Amino acid sequence: MWEHETGADDEVADRMRAVAMLCANAGQHSTATGLLQLAVKRLPTAMGPCDVGSLPAQEHRRLEACRLILERGALQPWPPTLVQLASFDQSQQPSVIPTAVEQAFVDLVRPLIAPSLNAGDNVLVWKGLGWGRARLKGSRTESDGCVTYDALLGGFDLKKNLKPHHVLSVDDEGAGAILLAAAQAGQTALVDTLLAAGVSVFAANASASTAVRAHCLIQEALLFSDTVYLCVAVASCSGSWSYRRLPSISPSWG
C-alpha cells in the first residue's frame, strides 16, 4: 500500500514515520522498521548516505532509518526499534561483517552519549532496601582515586560519599535507553560495542533496570536448559566497568 502512496515525498515520509511510531508504541517494532525503511526511500538524496560505503544497500537503508530517528533523539518508543534496525540476519547477508554494522550504528548514537554524571542530573540512589529518585549534587575523587557522589534524595535527604554502583543515571530517552533495549533483546555484541563507545553501564530506566540486569534476567531463563551462561560486570573504584561474558558451563545438579 505505502509503495503506491501519492503526494510529495517528504509528506509521505512523515506519514510513514507517524504510523511507524504508532506501531512502535504498540510493540510492533518489525512493522515499524519496515515503514521507516520505506520512508527513507522517499526522502531527498540530500539526506546523505551513512559513512558505510562498503555495506550493501539494504544495510545502508536500515542505518539511514536509524539516523532518521536519532536526528530527533532516541525518544521512547524508539530504542527497541533502533536495536532491531541495527541487527540483521547474517544468513541473508553473509558478506556483511556484523561489527561493521554495529560500529556504524554506534557512530550514529555517539552524539547522545553523555560523558559522565553531572551536578543537577536526575539519578536513582541505593537506599539500602531499594532505589530512590534523587538529584546529583556533585562528585569528588578521593585520595585513593575512587569517585564518590553526593545526591539529594527526595528533595531534602542529602546522601554523601555514594559509591558509583549506588548511583544510576536515569536515561529513558538516550544512549542508555538503547543500551537497555539491546540487552533486553539479547544483542550481546551490540551491548559490548555500545559499552566500548562509552555508554554508561550505570544507565537505567525509571524502574532501575540496567543493561546488566536485563542481560542476567535473559540468561536466568536458560537456567534449566543444557547450558548456563554467565555475565559479569566488574566495577572499579573510578566508576568504570569492564564487561565480559564468561565461557558457558554445564550445570551440575548433584
Q: What is the pLDDT of residues 60-95, one digit of tens each?
A: 888 889 988 998 888 899 999 999 998 855 445 544
Site of grid cell 554508561: 200
User: What Rg do the C-alpha atoms of the chain give, in angstroms?
Assistant: 20
For the chain, the domains span 2-112, 122-170
In the block, which residue shows the cell 572499579?
Answer: 236
**pLDDT at residue 200 in the model:** 87
pLDDT one-digit tens code per residue, 132-168: 999 999 998 888 888 899 999 988 899 999 988 899 9
Across 163-181, average pLDDT: 89
- Higher pLDDT: 33 or 55? It is 33
Q: Collapse the DSSP code of 210 into the 3-class scheme (helix H, G, I; strand E, B; otherwise coil) and give the result.
A: strand
The pLDDT value recorded for residue 89 is 53
The per-residue pLDDT for 144 is 83
Burial bucket for residue 181 (CB in 10 Å: 0-12, 13-18, 19+): buried
Mean pLDDT, residues 18-42 taken together:
92
pTM of the model: 0.77
Residue 124 CA to residue 114 CA, distance in Å, equals 16
Confidence band, pLDDT 50/70/90 cuts, at residue 58: confident
- 24 pLDDT above the threshold of 90: yes
Q: Determine the pLDDT at residue 3.
A: 60
CA separation for the pair 187, 89 (Å, rounded): 12
| Cα(113)–Cα(211) distance, integer angstroms | 15
Sign (positive or negative) of CA dihedral 39, 40, 45, 48: positive
Residue 229 has pLDDT above 70, yes or no: no
Q: Which of 75-89, 182-196, 225-239 has the lowest mean pLDDT?
A: 225-239
Task: Give yes or no for residue 227 having a pLDDT over 50.
Answer: no
Residue scoring higher pLDDT (225 or 135): 135
Return the higher-pLDDT residue of 99 and 142: 142
Q: Decide: helix, strand or coil at residue 162.
A: strand
Going from the C-alpha of 182 to that of each of 50, 106, 158, 165, 167, the distances in angstroms are 21, 12, 34, 21, 21
* Locus of grid cell 561483517: 97
pLDDT at residue 124 in the model: 93
Average pLDDT over residues 170-188: 89
pLDDT band for 245, please (50, 70, 90 cuts): very low
What's the pLDDT at 225? Answer: 40
Q: Considering only CA atoms, which of 189, 201, 204 is closest in space to residue 245?
A: 189
Alpha helices in 53-130 (DSSP H): 57-70, 78-86, 98-109
